[in-house]
Structures are given as structure tokens and as C-alpha cells.
Amino acid sequence: MDLVIRNAKVWTVDERRPRAEAVAVRDARIVAVGDDREVRDAVAGAEELDAGGNTVLPGFIDAHNHLRTGADADAVQLGDATTLDSVRSAIDGYATEHPDREWIVAEDWSYAALPDRRRPTAEDLEGVAPGRALMVFSYDVHNVWLNREAMRRFGIGAPERSLAFGRPEIDAGTGEPTGFVTDFAVMGLSRDGQAALAEQVPNFAPDEMYRRLLRSLDMAAELGITTAVEPQNSVDDLPLFRRARDEGAMRSRVIAALFHPPGTTSEELDAFAEAKAANDDDDRFRVGPIKLYIDDVIEPHTAAMLEPYANRPDTSGGTFYPPEGFAELIAELERRGFQTFTHATGDRGIRTALDAVEHARHVNGPRDARHQIVHVECVHPDDLPRFAELGVVACMQPRHCAPRIVQDWRANVGSARWRYAWPFRSLIEHGATLAFSSDWNVAEMDPFVWLFTARTRANLDGSEPWTPEETIDLPAAIRAATIGSAYANFGEGDRGSIEAGKLADLIVLSRDVFVDEPAALLETSVDTTIVGGDVVFRR
């Protein structure tokens, strides 16, 4: 469709021409950017969209969005449950309203809801929804809390303690499983873990997972996300995306990262390569980087730190691979032509990932690999310049650093390490490329929440801002959410800025976001989302 967007405040994210009044589109691509008159003349007779003086941006590119797992519409939502009693009450209420559900899944449980922030146990769920199996996910989806009925159905108990989707915690005194299961993000989202869950828990059946994907895709289009990177999939999951594409439900573009858990075989890597090659000519859906984990998360003291945790001096966390082995793995994956996408939150985890990329460069020679480190939460200052030096992209989620979300995080690392928490500004000043993302459904998908938090490092009501020296201005935040994320995924030639010749992935906002205070970002919506020249959402 031929289209002219006029009467706009176009922020192009193109340094050669940062601002314009109008954009012309023909055959899915941008053909002109400039003032109203010259652009209208470039595509005579085109349909016109009057932006009403509001901001037009390149479509947001969400560099880390769990579209496939998304939010479960059939789960108990625990985001407002701040105490153990309120968690129990929410689950009990849901059970009463859904008497036929044998399995009850709950999500978005906060670690802070437990007394003294201790780890939960099956005993904490005694008397809740009697006879039902309960499966409660932490807000970051890294840990699972089971009741005794769920443990029985999964076969967890002495001496049987193994699970395909996580590691049951064992009480040191009794030798019995507690009901707390760690490493779900690594094991539960693996091929074997997903298969085991689908076999027993209705919420993980293939048709339900497809419905979750469709809900996430609809949200993305409404929020102006024109490309999203789904960060953790097996080859078995790819048919879900192809189905959405073929049925016309994939209104935004999707890049699927393939998950490489420890123990992945050479034959599985061959299958990864085949899947990647099969989608390389598809601009709506393709297979992208390889997802790995080097450490876990800071809240339960499982991320790898250089020094012990401030409130747990007996531990500094750990890595999923020995450093030398991880370095060899990154080098091997690079030799096979894969870009890597490594989860690292602790300063030792981040350093281990950077060391691995440095080793790969040494043994393979310099190349444009664009390896990414995901989350980058607690960085040692010595490692800040290494991102740019090694060509590593920092894929970050601004919302994760909001004060109310990081209460446990801050207590665990201690104030001496706060200065380099989510160091947006420091990384930019050291020349790094930032790629912003939501980490939906761990946090809100809404890009205006990312932009607001990157600007303020405050709660959504503006309260409790912290480490203001790491805030960034709105243009820098928008770059990270557009061209930075495009570059991270080798897409800067086609998307991420408004330039003639690029794909016409554009959004028209409800206001001019450059004239108001940061709080106005949270009152901003997307009026129109355009992908490949087609209007895929109009408010």
C-alpha cells in the first residue's frame, strides 16, 4: 500500500537527518523522508495519514520478549500479593472459582512475599486448594514453588529427586525435597522440560502455548513493537511461529533464538543450523541467535558474583559452565556461524561471558559476531569498556531496575555494588551498543515503561529514584529501543531508523513525547502501528 504520513514530528533515529515532517511508503519500504510537500510529491495519489503534530518513530524492536510463554490467561496472577497470606488467599480464591481444575498454576510471585524473604516450601501451601496440584512461578520465571500434591504427581520425593524442568531443593537437615525448584529458566524452557510439562500440566499443552503466543503478538502490535526477539526456544517450538505467520496472526516480525542448554549435542547444533538456514529469506519470521546461560539471578543468590553476597557471605553464586569450558563453547559456536545470546546478571557471570568472547576472538580471529550479553545487571567497572572493545552488545531491560522491583537485589549485592547496577549511561560513555527490551512477561511489555525507567530509574509513580548518574536522555533510550536492537540482530540495514530504502516499520504516537516531562511517557500510547507498509494496528 502507498502511504504518506504527514503533519508529524518524525524522529528518524538517523543522525544525518534526525527530524522530518513526513514519511512516504511504497511497496513495503520507505521511499522518502522530509517536509510535507516534498514527501507528498514523491508518492502522488497515496493514502494520507495525518499525524496531528504527534511523534512518529521507527517501530520499537523488543530485543528480549518471551512471546511464546507470555502471560498465562488461565493462571492466578500474584503481582499484587505482597505477603504469604495474600498469596494463599489469591490461590484459594481462584480454586473456588475454578472447581474443575486439577492443576492450578500461579505466576508473578515476588520473593519478597515470604517472611524474612526466605525460600518457600510445600508446607507454606498446606491447606490451600486441597487435593489440587499447585505450581507457583516466581516473577522472573527462574524458580517454581510446588505443593505436596504437585510433588507427588511429578514423582518428587526421597530417593527420587530429579525433574526435567528444574532442580528440587533438598532440606539439608531432613534430606527431603522442600517444594522449591530452582533453574526453571534453564531446564523448564528446554526441549525436555517443555515436553515433561506438556505431558502433565494442561497450561503447557501445545494449543495453550499457541494461544499464549497469539495474545503476546496482539499485544506487541498494539504497543508499537514491530520486531520482537523470542529468546528461548527449541526446534520443536518453531512450528508454532510458522503457524502464526501462515495464519496471518504474526503482525509484528519475530526472531526466534534457539536455546542451548548444557549437554547440547553436535547433532542438535546441526538441527539449529538447518532451522536457521530455512528461515533466512523470511523477513517476517526467522531463527536468530543461540541462547545460553552462564549464571542465574541475583534475588535467590544464584547469580555468579566476584565477591560474596552482602547478606549471604557464605556464597557468591555459581556458573553453569566452568570458565574454560564456556570459552571453548563460545568459540565453537562462533566457528559454526552462530551469534550467541548469553544470560548473565552477576559481575562474575558477566566477566566470564566477556572472557569467553575475548577467547573466541583470539582463536577465531576478529569477526562481526555481535555476541550479546543479556540483562547485564551488576557490572564490575573494569568490564565496562570491554563491551565496545569486544563488539559485545548489552541487551538490557530498564524496567528491571525500578526501585520496588530491586529491593531484594539491592540487599543481596550491597550498596558498594549499586553504582554499577544496570549501568546504561556508563556503557554508552564507554562506546557500547545498548539493545533495550521488555523481558515480557517478567516485566511489562510496554516500551514507554522502558523509556520512562531508563530516564528516571524510579517507580512508575516517580518515587524512590536511585543511581541517577546512570539515567539516560530520551533520544538515547529510543536509540536503544530501535536502532540498537536492530544492530544487535544484524537488522540495521533494514529497520531501526526512518530512512529511504528501509522497511516501512513505523509507529504514530498519541502525543509529541519530546516536549513533556518523563511522566508523560506513561500516558502515551501508540495510535497506529505500521509493519512493512501495512497498518496492523489502529487505535
- pLDDT(178) > 90: yes
**Average pLDDT over every residue of 46-75:** 95
Summarised one tens digit per residue, pLDDT across range 313-343 is 999 999 999 999 999 999 999 999 999 999 9
In Å, what is the CA distance from 383 to each residue of 344, 376, 426, 504?
13, 11, 11, 37
pLDDT given at position 282: 81
Burial of 535 (0-12, 13-18, 19+ CB in 10 A): middle
What integer pLDDT is reported at residue 160 of this predicted model? Answer: 64
Q: Tell me the per-residue pLDDT of 368-403, one tens digit each, with 9 for 90 and over.
A: 999 999 999 999 999 999 999 999 999 999 999 999
* CATH 3.10.310.70 for domain 76-188: yes
Which pLDDT value is given to residue 159? Answer: 67
| DSSP per position, 255-281 | EEEEE--TT--HHHHHHHHHHHHHHTT
Query: What pTM, to 2 d.p., does this model score?
Result: 0.94
User: What pLDDT band is residue 116 in, cutting at 50, 70 and 90?
Assistant: confident
- Domain 285-488: give its CATH architecture: Alpha-Beta Barrel (3.20)
Q: What whole-number distance in Å separates Cα of residue 401 and Cα of residue 459?
A: 9
DSSP single-letter state for residue 312 = B
Mean of pLDDT values over 450-473? 97
Architecture label for domain 3-58+501-538: Roll (2.30)
Average pLDDT over the chain reads 95
486 vs 113: which has the higher pLDDT: 486
- List the Cα angle 210/212/218 in 5-degree steps: 105
Residues above pLDDT 70, as percent of the chain: 99
Residue 452's SS3 state is helix
pLDDT in tens, 68-79: 998 788 999 998
Average pLDDT, integer, range 1-17: 96
Residue 280 is predicted with a pLDDT of 61
Distance CA 402, CA 422 (A): 10
Angle of the 474-481 helix axis to the 447-456 helix axis, nearest 10 = 140
pLDDT for the residue 11: 98
Burial annotation 153-182 (CB, 10 A radius, 16+ → b, else e): ebebeeeeeebbbbbbbeeeeeeebbbbbb
Residue 157: per-residue pLDDT: 83
Q: 225-280 pLDDT, tens per residue? A: 999 999 999 999 999 999 999 999 999 999 999 999 999 999 999 999 999 998 76
How many angstroms separate the CA atoms of 129 and 196, rounded? 23
pLDDT at 129: 95
Residue ranges of domains in the chain: 3-58+501-538, 76-188, 285-488
For residue 86, give the C-alpha cell.
495474600
C-alpha cell at 237: 517450538
pLDDT at 112: 86
Considering 93-102, 114-123, 178-187, the range whose residues carry the highest mean pLDDT is: 93-102
